[in-house]
Amino acid sequence: MTDYAVVVTGATGKTGQHVAAGAVARGWQVRSATRSAPPHGDWFPLDWDDESTWAPVFAGCDAAYVIIPFNHPGAAERTPRLMEVAASCGVRRIVLLSSLDVDSAEPDSPLRAAEAAVGRLPVRSAILRPTWFLDNFTTGSFRGMTQAGELRLPAGDGRIPQIDVRDVADVAVAALADGGPEGVLPLTGPEELDHHQVAAALSEGLGRRVTYTSVPVEEFVQVLTTHGFSREYGVFLGAALAEVAAGRLRIPVAGTVERVTGRPGRTALEFARHHASVTGHSPLRDDAGA
Ligand SMILES: NC(=O)c1ccc[n+]([C@@H]2O[C@H](COP(=O)([O-])OP(=O)(O)OC[C@H]3O[C@@H](n4cnc5c(N)ncnc54)[C@H](OP(=O)(O)O)[C@@H]3O)[C@@H](O)[C@H]2O)c1
């Protein structure tokens, strides 16, 4: 193990767990900073709601991976302060997980505020701007739809180069290293896919039939609320997908993953096959309790 010490926030979440695993594999000291026990690294309890937990996490560390837990009320607004504390504790590199959505975000959005805050700090930094995650279909917001075998989204025939979070994490780990990439890093998958193609990749990779039907925004919001999400969150996602359907939100494939990692980003089929291999069964069988 080296002396290089990194903090990984969100280390129980979709990207953070892979960032922590990748950082451990590099031989770094890894502080996984979450409220619940993480799968990789040493657990340093951190709560966005409790500033007294912040400094002990960051003190003596070289670099930090910072996500913005948007689903936790007030956390996004507190993220600039969290990063200030990290810098004041001696952290020299911050890798912030932002989003490609920042381009269409309101001027006063927490996402823009967090990006601006990093730029003001006396640290080296990388801002990751990924497109939508493929993992939304297996472990994220659309998991219930994949389980039901039918993606009902208001995305029309619009195409998005969705990304495997392992690729986000691989770039994040590279950026946490001394001399790693800096600046704004747009992150996409290697191919623009419509949701018929995503459903086909899920079907083949998971070994289960998954179809796609384009539905009105209001129907999508209702489906999402039956899967336990708030109406507000459904309206937010529905509006973004409607932009994709209308062709107003176009995300070109970015070469960042290949440039940073030296290999192409993972395809949707590779993503689905990997998910099936690590879970040992498809999400549908999860539902059946098998
Ligand atoms: N989904 C997409 O398609 C997509 C695309 C682009 C960008 N993004 C961005 O990805 C970010 C989310 O990252 P993710 O998907 O890796 O995370 P995630 O899967 O949503 O998990 C959230 C993480 O935040 C932690 N957390 C939540 N509330 C917390 C609190 N009060 N104090 C401390 N930790 C807290 C959770 O850990 P504990 O509960 O264990 O504390 C968990 O590890 C968002 O900013 C989103 O904008 C998402």
Domain that holds residue 103: 5-130
What is the three-state SS of 142-203? CHHHHHHCEEEECCCCCCECCECHHHHHHHHHHHHCCCCCCEEEEECCCCCECHHHHHHHHH
Q: How far is the CA of 224 from the centre of ligand 1 (A)?
A: 18
Q: What is the CATH number of the domain that holds 215?
A: 3.90.25.10
Q: What is the CATH number of the domain that holds 18?
A: 3.40.50.720
**Hey, what are 208's tokens?**
């289960």
Domain count, the chain: 2
Q: Are residues 117 and 143 in the same domain?
A: no
Q: Are residues 19 and 142 in the same domain?
A: no
- CA-proximal residue: ligand 1, atom 25 (nearest): 10
Q: Are residues 79 and 18 in the same domain?
A: yes
186 in contact with ligand 1, CB cutoff 6 A: no
Q: How far is the CA of 10 from the centre of ligand 1 (A)?
A: 6
pTM greater than the 0.75 cutoff: yes
Asked whether residue 172 is assigned to any structural domain, the reply reads no
Asked whether residue 245 is assigned to any structural domain, the reply reads yes
Using CA atoms, how far apart are residues 90 and 88, in angstroms rounded to an integer?
5
Using CA atoms, how far apart are residues 193 and 198, in angstroms rounded to an integer?
6
Beta strands 124-130; 150-153: pairing state: unpaired
Q: How far is the CA of 13 from the centre of ligand 1 (A)?
A: 6
Q: Are residues 123 and 149 in the same domain?
A: no
Q: Are residues 141 and 101 in the same domain?
A: no
Q: Are residues 61 and 144 in the same domain?
A: no
In the predicted model, residues of the chain with pLDDT beneath 70 are: 281-290
Q: Are residues 114 and 63 in the same domain?
A: yes
Asked whether residue 178 is assigned to any structural domain, the reply reads no
Using CA atoms, how far apart are residues 148 and 47, in angstroms rounded to an integer?
34
Q: Are residues 157 and 238 in the same domain?
A: yes
281 in contact with ligand 1, CB cutoff 6 A: no
Q: How far is the CA of 286 from the centre of ligand 1 (A)?
A: 23
130 in contact with ligand 1, CB cutoff 6 A: yes
Q: Are residues 204 and 87 in the same domain?
A: no
Q: Are residues 234 and 271 in the same domain?
A: yes
pLDDT at 281: 58
Query: Which of the listed residues 97, 142, 184 should we mutate to test ligand 1's pocket, taking the one with most ligand atoms within 8 A of CB?
Result: 97
- CA-proximal residue: ligand 1, atom 32 (nearest): 47
Asked whether residue 183 is assigned to any structural domain, the reply reads no
Asked whether residue 179 is assigned to any structural domain, the reply reads no
14 in contact with ligand 1, CB cutoff 6 A: yes
Q: Are residues 93 and 139 in the same domain?
A: no
Asked whether residue 154 is assigned to any structural domain, the reply reads yes
